[in-house]
Structure 1
Amino acid sequence: MTTTRRSALQLLGATSVAATAGLAVQAAGSRPAAAHTGSPSRRVPEGLRPGGELDLLIADMAARDVFSGCVLITYRGRTVLSRSHGMADKARSVPNGPDTLFGLMSIAKLFTAVAVAQLAQRGLLRYYDTVGQHLDGFAAEVADRVTIHHLLTHTSGLGDPFGDPGFWEAARTWTSVQQAMDGVGGFVRRQTLAFPPGAGSGYSNSGYHVLGEIVARVSGQEYHDYVREHIFRAAGMGSADFYTPPRLRDDRRIAHGYYRPEGSADRIENLGEQIFLPGAYATCAQLERFAHALWEEKLLNPAYTRLTLSPKVPMLPPPGPVALTVFTGYGPGATLAGDRWSYGHSGGASNGGVGELVFYPDSGYVTVILSNYEMESIRGIPGLTRKLIVEQG
Structure 2
Amino acid sequence: MNKNLLNKINQIQAEKNFSGTVFVQTGESVIFDKSFGYANRAEKIENQSNTRYGIASGSKILTAIAIAQLVEQGKVTFNTRLKECLNIHFPHFDESITIHQLLTHTSGIPDYFDEEVMDDFEELWIQRPMYHIRRLRDFLPMFELEAMKSQPGSMFHYNNAGYILLGLVVEELSGVTFTDYVEKNIFKKCSMDAGYFEMDSLPERTALGYIDLPDGKWKTNVYSLPAKGGSDGGAFVTAKSMAELLEALLNGLLLNKETTNQLLTPHASVNESISYGYGIWMKHENRSISKYYLMGYDPGVNFRAAFYPETNTKIVICSNQADGAFDILTGIEDELNIK
Match of 1:108 among 48, 59, 68: 59
Question: TM-score by structure 1 length?
Answer: 0.77
Residues 282 and 312 of structure 1, relative CA distance in 2, 3 Å threshold: same
In structure 2, the residue matched to 1:354 is 302
Structure 1 position 256, deviation (Å): 1.0
In structure 2, the residue matched to 1:335 is 283
User: Do the aligned partners of 2:92 and 2:145 also contact (CA within 8 Å) in 1?
Assistant: no
Residues 176 and 66 of structure 1, relative CA distance in 2, 3 Å threshold: closer
Structure 1 position 371, deviation (Å): 0.7
Report the 3-state secondary structure (helix = DSSP H, G, I; strand = E; otherwise coil) of the residue aligned with 1:306.
Answer: helix
Match of 2:43 among 92, 102, 114: 92
In structure 1, the residue matched to 2:210 is 258
Structure 1 position 314, deviation (Å): 1.4
Query: Deviation digits for residues 363-389 of structure 1, max 9, x if unmatched?
Result: 3211101111113x2342222333445
Q: How many residue pairs end up in the alignment?
A: 328
Matched residue type, 1:172? P
In structure 2, the residue matched to 1:244 is 198
Distance 2:106 2:130 in 1: 32
Moved more, 273-282 or 133-142: 133-142
Residues 340 and 311 of structure 1, relative CA distance in 2, 3 Å threshold: closer
Report the 3-state secondary structure (helix = DSSP H, G, I; strand = E; otherwise coil) of the residue aligned with 1:255.
Answer: coil
Q: Does 1:177 align with 2:124?
A: no
Match of 2:183 among 228, 244, 249: 228
Structure 1 position 360, deviation (Å): 2.6
Report the 3-state secondary structure (helix = DSSP H, G, I; strand = E; otherwise coil) of the residue aligned with 1:70.
Answer: strand
Matched residue type, 2:68? A
User: Do the aligned partners of 1:104 and 1:281 also contact (CA within 8 Å) in 2?
Assistant: yes
Report the 3-state secondary structure (helix = DSSP H, G, I; strand = E; otherwise coil) of the residue aligned with 2:316.
Answer: strand
Residues 330 and 272 of structure 1, relative CA distance in 2, 3 Å threshold: closer
Task: Give RMSD over aligned pairs.
Answer: 2.3
User: Do the aligned partners of 1:344 and 1:357 also contact (CA within 8 Å) in 2?
Assistant: yes
User: Do the aligned partners of 2:112 and 2:160 also contact (CA within 8 Å) in 1?
Assistant: yes
Report the 3-state secondary structure (helix = DSSP H, G, I; strand = E; otherwise coil) of the residue aligned with 1:133.
Answer: helix
- Percent identity over paired residues: 26
Unaligned runs of 5+ residues in structure 1 are 1-48, 318-324
Question: TM-score by structure 2 length?
Answer: 0.89
Distance 2:226 2:134 in 1: 11
Query: Deviation digits for residues 292-351 of structure 1, max 9, x if unmatched?
Result: 00011100001101111011111137xxxxxxx2110011112224555322210111x2
In structure 2, the residue matched to 1:205 is 160
1:1-393 to structure 2, matched below 5 A, reads 50-52=2-4, 54-64=5-15, 66-139=17-90, 141-142=92-93, 144-162=95-113, 167-169=124-126, 171-172=128-129, 174-175=131-132, 177-178=134-135, 181-237=136-192, 239-248=193-202, 251-261=203-213, 263-278=214-229, 279-316=234-271, 325-337=273-285, 341-349=290-298, 351-375=299-323, 377-389=324-336, 391=338
Matched residue type, 2:111? D
Residues 388 and 189 of structure 1, relative CA distance in 2, 3 Å threshold: same
Distance 1:157 1:360 in 2: 31
